[in-house]
Amino acid sequence: MSAPEELASRAELTARTVPMMKLSDGSDSSMTPAPKVALGSDTELAAQKRFEVVGNAVITGGAGTLGLQAGHALLEHGLEGIMILDVNPTQSQAEIEALKARFPSAKISALAVDVTDEIAVSAAMQEAVSFLGSIDILICFVGIVGCVETLKMPVSQWRKVIDVNLTGTFICAQAAAQHMVKRGKGGSIIFIASISAHRVNFPQPQVAYNVSKASLLMLKNSLAAEWAQYGIRTNSISPGYMDTILNEGDGIAEHRRIWAERNPSGRMGSPSELTGAIVLLASRANTYMNGSDIVVDGGAIVF
């Protein structure tokens, strides 16, 4: 860089303006007012209302076991509609049709979307709004993992994992939040992180996955701070090893044994055991949870 160019770049640097983050003031006229709690005579109805899920949800990676279980639980608690975004939703077409049959009054649809393609994601979110009427909840299940020794890891694999798990989640959150802000009713965004975000897993090496999930926690924190003024709560769940198809097969039988032995509960988690945290973060009970991470791992994280 020549001297004039360096002087010009320094001048631009010192003349820059940096945006200021705005927080909510929590007043009744803000997007984060304290809830109005009235004790009614019907205690059973009050209990149901506490964990009522209102509106519509977009679930990325929603055609997988965890996403489908989450959708089912949310519909049980009052969710009106779901748009499932998945790179290959037809793989679970039978399960999606079963969901429609069980909840005939709900709007349920699916789209094939690559979450790393911001144009495709933007179009999918717009289609979700057109089909459902609104996006009130976003749950990001999409994630890939590659277990390889770091010394031998292709840089292309590192980039792919970070692109899908972190950048893809950012793209979906930004696109959904834009609709939430435009509507002016707030919303709930839930990232699916991992215990891998908190500590190194054993015995498999998976550095890219661990870094991508740890980064999700900071993304969650940053958005929780920035978007609270719009009434958008951004939280995450960190599951332990869940007993899904991704953790099946003879090739990881020894890994499964080690995971169970190192867990106080002595086993992997059932997909249904993640739904309680999902419902909590999506429901009326979540009005003062923002920037939180819920660990659901049977106690593995204590070691």
- Which residues form the catalytic set? 194, 209, 213
The residue to which tokens 């840089």 are assigned:
155
Q: How far is CA 105 from CA 80, 100, 151, 179, 192, in A?
A: 8, 8, 53, 24, 28
Which letter, b or e, does each residue of 11-33 get, where b requires 16 or more Cβ atoms within 10 Å of its Cβ?
Answer: eeeeeeeeeeeeeeeeeeeebbe
Q: How far apart are CA 171 and CA 210, in angstroms?
A: 20
Check: CB of residue 30 under 8 Å from CB of residue 24: yes
Q: How far apart are CA 231 and CA 276, in angstroms?
A: 22
The residue to which tokens 């009713």 are assigned:
185
Q: Does the N-terminal peptide bond of residue 4 adopt cis geometry, omega within 30 degrees of 0? A: no
Q: How far apart are CA 66 and CA 58, in angstroms?
A: 14
Which letter, b or e, does each residue of 268-284 get, where b requires 16 or more Cβ atoms within 10 Å of its Cβ?
Answer: bbebebbbebbbbbbbe
